[in-house]
Chain A
Amino acid sequence: MLADLLRLFGGGAAAFVALLLLRAALHKAADTGRFEGVLADYGLAPDWALTPLRRLLPALEIAAAGALCFPPVQAVGAALAAGLLLTYGAAMAAALARGRREIDCGCGGPALPLGWSLVARNVVLTAALVPAGLGLAGWRTLGEAGAGWAMALVGLACWAAGEQLAANHHRMRQARGPSAAQMFGGAA
C-alpha cells in the first residue's frame, strides 16, 4: 500500500516537474534576448558563454521533460532535471550572496525578484524527483496514468497561479510609490 502510494505520488511529481520544465523552456525560447539579459544579470558566467548557455539550457530542459515522461528513461530524466534544478538553485544562491536581489529570476512565468524562497523551492522540487530517480515511480493502468496527469496539470495551474500571486504582491509594494522620507527630501 505504502509502496503503491509512493509510486503514484512519485509518478505525479515527475509528470508535474516535466510540465514545469517544458513551460520554463518555452518561456526561455520565446524571448531569447531577455533570457540572455537575465543570464548576464546573474553575473556568474563570462560573456562569451552567454549565447551558448541561452541555447543549451532550454534544450536540456526539454530533454529532461521528455525523459521524465517515458518510463524506460525516467530515472535519467529525473537525474538531469535534478541537476538543472540544483544548478539554478546554486546560481540563485551565488547571486543572492553577492547582493543581487532585484534581478529577474528568469524562472519562466512573470518576472520575480530573487529570494531564498526560490532556492528552497528548487530543493523541494528536487526532493520530489527522488522516487522517479530511484525507479520507484510510475503508473500501471490507464486510470492511474489519467489521475497522475490530472494531478500534474492541476498542480501546474496552481503553481502558475502562485507565481502570479507573488509577482502581483511585488508590484503592489512597488506601486505604493516613494516613501514620505523620499518625497520630502529626507535620506535619499
Chain B
Amino acid sequence: MSLVVFALVALWVLVLVLAVVILVMLRQIGVLYERISPMGALMDNAGPQVGEPSPRFTPRSLTGPDIAVGGAGGRAQLVFFLSPTCPVCKQLLPVLTSIRTDEKAWLDVVLASDGDEPKHREFIRRQKLGAFPYVLSSELGLAYRVQRLPFAVLTDKAGVVRAKGLINNREQLESLFSALSAGVPSLQQYAANHAAE
C-alpha cells in the first residue's frame, strides 16, 4: 500500500515538473520569436516609396491650427496613423510623447486617423494628446496606403519619404529614425543589400 502511495505521489510530482519544463521551453521559443521577428518596421510596397516626395495635404487638426502634412516647411515630420480602438497604438503613445519632447528641435510628430470625430475628441481627452497635432483625413491614409495600424511615415525637411512601415513596438519606431540617419529604408532592405554583396 505504502509503495503504491509513494509511486503515485512521486509520479504526480514528476508529471507536474515535466509539464512546467515543457511550458517554460515553449515560452522561451515564444520569446525568441518576439526578439527575432520585429526586425525593423515591416514595409510594404504600396504608396509613396522611400526616397520619393511625399504627397502634400493640409488637413484640419482637432487640437490646433491646420497643419501641412508631407513636406512641412523645413522640418522633418513623423506622421503616426492610429485609432482609438487599437491596443498597440495606446501602448506606443508614451514613446511618441517622449520622441516629441526629445526631438523637438528638428521633428514634428503628427497623429493621423479617420472616422467619427466625437470618438477622436474623447480619445484625445482621455489619453491627453492635446499637445500633438491630430488630423482626421481619410485621403491621407489612402495616399500612404495605410492598411494596418499603427503605421508611421517619416519625411525629411525637404518632404521626401525617408522611412515608413507598420509599427508594433518601440524598436520598430526607433528603426525609422535609424533608417533616416543610415540612409537605408528598412532592415529588410539592409539585409537584402548585404545578401547581394
Contacts and interface: CB of A to CB of B under 8 A. Distances in A.
Interface of A: 33-34, 36-38, 40-41, 43, 47, 104, 110, 147, 150, 153-154, 157-158, 160-161, 164-165, 167-168, 171-172, 174-175, 177-178, 182-183, 185, 188
Most chain A C-beta atoms within 10 Å of own C-beta, residue among B15, B36, B119:
B15
Given A110-B30, A150-B12, A161 B23 contact: yes
B85 A37 contact: yes
Contacts, number: 76
5 contacts: A104-B87, A153-B16, A154-B16, A164-B30, A188-B45
Nearest to B11: A150
A175 B34 CA distance: 10
Centre residue among B22, B26, B87 by max chain A CB count within 10 A: B87
Contacts of A147: 8, 12
Contact of A178 (B36, B44, B85, B91): B44
Given A40-B84, A182-B44, A188-B46, A33 B90 contact: yes
B16 A171 contact: no
B131 interface: no
Interface string B15-48: 1100110110011011001101100000011100
Given A37-B90, A175-B33, A43 B44 contact: no
Main secondary structure of the interface of A (DSSP, over half): helix
A175 B22 CA distance: 23
B122 interface: yes
Contacts of B15: 150, 154
A105 B86 CA distance: 13
A62 to B, nearest CB: 23
Interface of B: 8, 12, 15-16, 19-20, 22-23, 26-27, 29-30, 33-34, 36-37, 44-46, 84-88, 90-91, 119, 122, 188
Given A40-B85, A188-B44, A164 B26 contact: yes
Contact of A168 (B16, B20, B33, B46): B33
Contacts of B36: 175
Contacts of B45: 182-183, 185, 188
Nearest to B123: A47
Nearest to A157: B19
B12 A37 contact: no
A178 B119 CA distance: 34
Nearest to B87: A37
A182 B122 CA distance: 37
A158 B22 CA distance: 8
